[in-house]
Amino acid sequence: MHGALALISRHGYLIIFAMVFAESVGFPVPAALALVAGGAGVASHALKFTIVAPLALAAMLLGDTLLYILGRYTGWSLLGFLCRIAANPEACILRSAESFYKRGKITLVIAKFIPGINTMAAPLAGSMRMRWQQFLRLDAAGAALYILTYGAAGFLFRDFLAAITRGFQAAGRAAEEVVVVAAVGYMAYRVWLYQKNKVYRVVPRIQVEELARKLASEQEDKDRIVIVDVRSHGYYDQRSERIKGSVRLEPNNLEQELKLLPKDKDIYLYCS
Amino acid sequence: MLREKGFNAFVIVGGLAAWRKAGHPLEGVPQSDLVKLPTFS
């Protein structure tokens, strides 16, 4: 934290721009601290408000716009990727999409203050095809609120900046500990999952070339084949593709779905 | 689970990515299988 403050005092505008931009595109960079230091710099006349504020706003809008475009062009893939770690990816995607649809506008305004959500809001707005002007208006409001809040804190409490920095340091240490505990917990969960699913590794496997040969073989063999798509989440994009002739099986609704599968045929399962 | 329930199931190694990489035929997902998520448009 001290390092960041020292950098800002030396390189001012460039560092504020870089840190705010980096945070807005998802890097774990303390942009809030840069803004607090920027506010203190304005108060001590080392930096100019008329440059700091527009610069920070431009950096944030630029980063958010890039993520918005990413969401727009990747469709639901990004949300699908992020929901892969959820216990029920299908429910995660549906819930996230519905929640953002209901509260997306206010979420965009306050998202900057919520770690995790701040990086997700812009690409979700893109995925959900929010109009560009509307996105820009709401995002600019959120960015301005964020920049002014932290900038004002630095401006008003410049004399207490050292104390604030110590507070940030303490919070940073606590956050580091939380991250370490969470990482260890996640690894333990993955090991437990691996052990639990060991039994399923005995399921016979087939290479794609072998399956392709079977499909190209005599009609009798071909008719015994059922290819089943068991990807953990459904099809959300018009451009989704699957293996030709395969059928969809929803893994989160297995009991019902199994009633539709024939027991007298060979079932070939695949995911992404 | 499929095997426990009496299905003669196999797993395709590498999944869709391997199938696509090998250049085997794909098809677009039928409209009826698409899950409609809410959008602002």
Between B2 and B16, name the one with better pLDDT: B16
Q: Looking at chain A, which residue has its C-alpha nearest residue B3?
A: A203
The fraction of chain A above a pLDDT of 70, given in percent, is 81
**Confidence label for A88 from pLDDT (cuts 50, 70 and 90):** low
The residue among B8, B26, B36 with the most chain A CBs within 10 A of its CB, best to mutate, is B8
How close B32 comes to chain A (CA, Å)? 10
Across A207-236, average pLDDT: 80
Q: Which long-range contacts (CB under 8 A, 24 or more apart) does A6-13 make?
A: A8/A34, A8/A37, A8/A38, A8/A41, A9/A37, A9/A41, A9/A46, A12/A38, A12/A41, A12/A46, A12/A47, A13/A47, A13/A51, A13/A52, A13/A55
Interface size A-B, in CB pairs within 8 Å, comes to 132
Task: Say if the Cβ atoms of A267 and B3 lie within 8 Å.
Answer: no
Interface contact B34, partner A, CB < 8 A = yes
**From A43-57, A131-145, A192-206, B11-25, the region with the lowest mean pLDDT:** A192-206
Q: Please tell me if residue A240 touches chain B, with a CB cutoff of 8 Å.
A: yes
Q: In what order do the strands lie in the sheet with A266-270?
A: A205-206, B8-12, A266-270, A225-229, A247-248
